[in-house]
Each structure stands twice: as structure tokens, then as C-alpha cells.
Amino acid sequence: MTTPTPDPVTPEPVTPEPVTPEPAPPEPALRVQGIASGYGDIQVLRSVSVQVWPGRISVLLGSNGAGKTTTLRAVAGLNRVTVGSVQLLGRDVTTMPASERIRMGLGFVMEGKRLFHRRTVEENLLLGGYSKGHSRRALRHRAETMYERFPVLGERKRSRAGELSGGQQQMLAIAQALMAEPRVLLLDEPSAGLAPVIVTQVMAIVEELKIEGLGVLLVEQAAEEAVRIADHVTVLDVGRVVIDRPAREIEDVSVIRSAYLGGRRNRPDTTAPVPPPAEPSGA
């Protein structure tokens, strides 16, 4: 007896899984391209490019006189850019006044905790948000959010800024800049003159700002602390970029130091900048 041959089984067609396209990388919130700047006839920056993305920290490192603060001042509109461009949130702001850049979403915490020392903590905060054109009631509400972030400022809101400790003044300087609701924050040496434990606290605050979606351009001498929280690292030497790479690619901070210290041994620095203006005094 012959065994019947079973009919061949036709496999069901396999529908390929839909391919989800990779999300487009975010555009830089701040794009600085090949800028030159300085103080009068003294050229400090020769061709500096830096980018800052939303929710990321870009760190700018270098020895004294390398041009770090001058870069921040040029981005903020305090120093004239003679070559290159500065774009903020997709808009060219190279020739825009500093006040307009603040209204667009740029915040700047200068080195040395530039506060109105004879004004109270709360008055400093209200002045920080003045450029947004909000009502006094709205500004006070915004100040309350700063007290929630920095409880010590809430405890001392009636104290004069000059009566605060160095760490408290740095927190006030950051809070004052945040009052204007920036999208990009420039931080110049926030750890300068602070005890190591306070430096750790300040860096933790910077990390929190990153998590909240703020783009941060951080200038620091505390290279280890800065690289630890950084997403991208740019190193300047005598007004030029000598390292520009993601922080994850930097395994040893000593490589960064040798990049600018080694270059400085090989070519003299003839671009010592004029000291910035004295900090404002309270009214």
C-alpha cells in the first residue's frame, strides 16, 4: 500500500518589523564658530569654536590667559567679535547687544560672584529677572522657586548679599542668572575660592541644571571635577582650540593639562588680556 505524500506546507509570509528611524540629534543651543576677540588692540582669541547642546554640559579648560573668560564675554556680547559668528537658539547674535541675548535665553554667571553686595538676597534675585519684563508678583513667584532650589537663600533672603559666605554667594549668583529663565547658561569659574566640599555642591547644582534640559558652558580650573560632569570638553591654549572631543573619550585628565601646558612651553603667550571691569557695587 502506497503512503500518500502530504501536501507541501506553504510558509506564511513574514511581515518585517517596521524600522523606527533614529531620532535626529538635537541642534546646538549655542554655536560659536571661529571667533576672534580681545580687548582693544590686544587680540586674545584667534579662532575659537564651541558648541553647547540642550541638556548637556560643555566644559572649556585651559591655563590662565588662554582665553576662556574672553570666550564667555564674547558669547555674552560684552566683548566685540571681530571674526566668526555666535548663534543662539538658531539665530545669529554676533552683533546683538548683551541685553537682547539675555532676553533670548542666555544667562551669564561671571567669575567672582558679581552681585549687588549692599542689596538683599531677594533684591538680587528680583534684579536678575528684571529683563524678562514680568510683573513684580511674577518675579516674586519665580524667586520662591529659587528658594526651593537653594533653601539657604530662602533662610537668608533679607540678608545683604555681602554678608553671605563664599559658597552662598555663588549659589545666589547662579540663582540670579536663573531668574531670567535662560536656555543656555555660561558659568565662569563657579568653584573659584571655595572649599572642596562646596565645590562638590556647586557641581551637583550644575548637573541638576543639565538634567532639567539647560545647556551649560562651564569654564573651570578644577579640571577633574569639570570633566567628571562634562559631556564635551574643549581646551584652549593661547586663544586657540587644542582639544575638542566628547568627555567619554578622555580617560586621563593629565592629557588635557599636557595639551595646554606643553604648548605654552613651546610658544610664549603675548595675549595677556586686560582685567575685566570691577564688580558692580550695590546702590
Grid cell digits, residue 281: 557695587
Phi, psi angle pair for 14, to nearest 5°:
-95, 120
In a domain, 125, yes or no: yes
Element housing 138 (H / E) = helix 136-149
Say what the pLDDT of residue 83 is.
96
In a domain, 141, yes or no: yes
Three-state DSSP class for 269? coil
Say what the pLDDT of residue 56 is.
97
Task: Name the residue range of residue 132's domain.
Answer: 115-181
Grid cell digits, residue 56: 548637556
Q: How would you write the pLDDT of the chain (283 residues) with one tens digit per residue?
A: 556 665 655 666 656 666 655 555 568 999 999 999 999 989 999 999 999 999 999 999 998 889 999 999 999 999 999 999 999 999 999 999 999 999 999 999 998 778 999 999 999 999 988 877 778 888 999 999 999 999 999 999 999 999 999 999 999 999 999 999 999 999 999 988 888 888 888 899 999 999 999 999 999 888 888 999 999 999 999 999 999 999 998 877 777 777 766 554 444 333 334 344 444 444 3
Beta bridge mates, 83: 36
pTM of the model: 0.81
Phi, psi angle pair for 72, to nearest 5°:
-65, -40
β-strand pairing of 106-109 with 57-61 = unpaired
Going 79 to 86 to 97 to 162, the CA torsion angle's sign is: negative
User: CA-CA distance, 160 to 122, in Å (whole number)?
Assistant: 9
In a domain, 214, yes or no: no
Say what the pLDDT of residue 181 is.
93
CA 104 vs CA 79, 89, 132, 252: distances in Å: 18, 8, 9, 37
Specify the number of domains making up the chain: 1
In a domain, 7, yes or no: no
CA 126 vs CA 22, 76, 158: distances in Å: 43, 21, 13
User: CA-CA distance, 162 to 13, in Å (whole number)?
Assistant: 76
Say what the pLDDT of residue 131 is.
76
Which pairs with CB-CB distance under 8 Å and at least 24 residues apart come from 276-283? 276/69, 276/73, 276/110, 276/111, 279/110, 279/112, 279/113, 279/114, 279/115, 280/114, 280/116, 281/116, 281/117, 281/118, 282/116, 282/117, 282/118, 282/119, 282/160, 282/161, 282/162, 283/116, 283/118, 283/119
Q: For the chain, first and last CA: distance in Å? A: 113
In a domain, 6, yes or no: no
Q: Are 85 and 92 in contact (CB under 8 A)?
A: yes
